[in-house]
Chain A
Amino acid sequence: MAAIALEGVSKAWGDSRGVDRISFATQAGQFLVLLGPSGCGKSTTLRLIAGLEQADAGRIFIAGDDVTALPPSRRHLSMVFQSYALFPHLSVAENILFGLKVRKAPAADQRRGLARVAELLGLAGLLERKPNQLSGGQQQRVALGRAIIAEQPVCLMDEPLSNLDAQLRNEMRRELRALQQKLAMTMVYVTHDQAEAMSMADQVILLRDGRIEQDATPEELYARPASTFTARFIGTPPMNVIPGTVLARVNPGWAARLGARAAEIAIGIRPEDIRFGAADGVEAAVAGIEYLGADSVVTCALGDAVLAVRAKGKLRGPAGERVRLDWDPAATHCFDQAGGQRLAQGLA
Chain B
Amino acid sequence: MSADGSRRFAANVHGWLLVLPAAALLVLFTHYPTVATFLRSFFSTAKGARGSAFVGVDNYRQMIDDPIFWQVLSNNAYFALGTIPVSIGLALLMAIWVNGRIAGKGWLRLAYFTPTVLPMIAVANIWLFFYTPQYGLFEQVLSAFGVPAHNFLGSKDTVLTCLIIVAIWKEAGFFMIFYLAALQQMSPNLAEAAAIEGASRWHFFRRVTFPLLMPTTLFVLVNAIINSFRLVDHVVVMTRGGPDNASSLLLYYIYEVGFRYWDSAYAAALTMVLLALLALFAVGQFLFMDRKVHYR
Contacts and interface: CB of A to CB of B under 8 A. Distances in A.
Interface of A: 50-52, 71-74, 77-79, 81, 83, 85, 87-89, 98-99, 102-103, 130, 132, 146, 150
Contact of B196 (A73, A88, A89): A73
B196 A87 contact: no
A260 to B, nearest CB: 57
Contacts of B193: 79, 81, 85, 146
A85 B212 CA distance: 13
A85 B208 contact: no
Contacts of A99: 197-198
Interface string B264-296: 000000000000000000000000000000011
B181 interface: no
Q: Number of contact residues on B: which range applies?
A: 10 to 19
A103 B195 contact: no
B64 interface: no
Interface in B182-200: 187, 189-190, 192-199
Given A88-B212, A88-B296, A102 B197 contact: yes
Contact of B203 (A77, A88, A102): A102
Given A52-B196, A72-B196, A99-B198, 8 more contacts: A81-B192, A89-B295, A98-B207, A102-B197, A102-B203, A103-B198, A130-B295, A146-B197
Contacts of B189: 81, 83, 85
14 contacts: A52-B196, A71-B195, A72-B192, A73-B197, A73-B198, A73-B199, A74-B198, A79-B196, A88-B295, A89-B212, A102-B197, A102-B198, A102-B199, A132-B296
Contacts of A150: 197
Contacts of B187: 83, 85
Contacts of B199: 73, 98, 102
B190 A87 contact: yes
B195 A85 contact: no
B197 A98 contact: yes
A72 B203 CA distance: 16
B296 to A, nearest CB: 6
Contact of A77 (B196, B207, B296): B196
A72 B193 CA distance: 9
B101 to A, nearest CB: 12
A85 B198 contact: no
B106 to A, nearest CB: 18
Closest 7 CB pairs of A and B: A73-B198, A99-B197, A89-B295, A85-B189, A85-B193, A72-B196, A102-B199
A85 B199 CA distance: 15
Nearest to B214: A89
Contacts of A87: 190, 207-208, 212
Contacts of A50: 192, 196
B136 interface: no
B120 to A, nearest CB: 37
Contacts of A72: 192, 195-196
A89 B204 CA distance: 13
B212 A52 contact: no
B198 A52 contact: no
B85 interface: no
Nearest to B193: A85
Contact of A52 (B190, B195, B203): B195
Nearest to A156: B196
B192 A85 contact: yes
A72 B207 CA distance: 19
A74 B195 CA distance: 10
Nearest to B203: A102
B56 interface: no
A258 to B, nearest CB: 53
B243 interface: no
Contacts of A130: 295-296
A61 B192 CA distance: 20
A34 B212 CA distance: 34
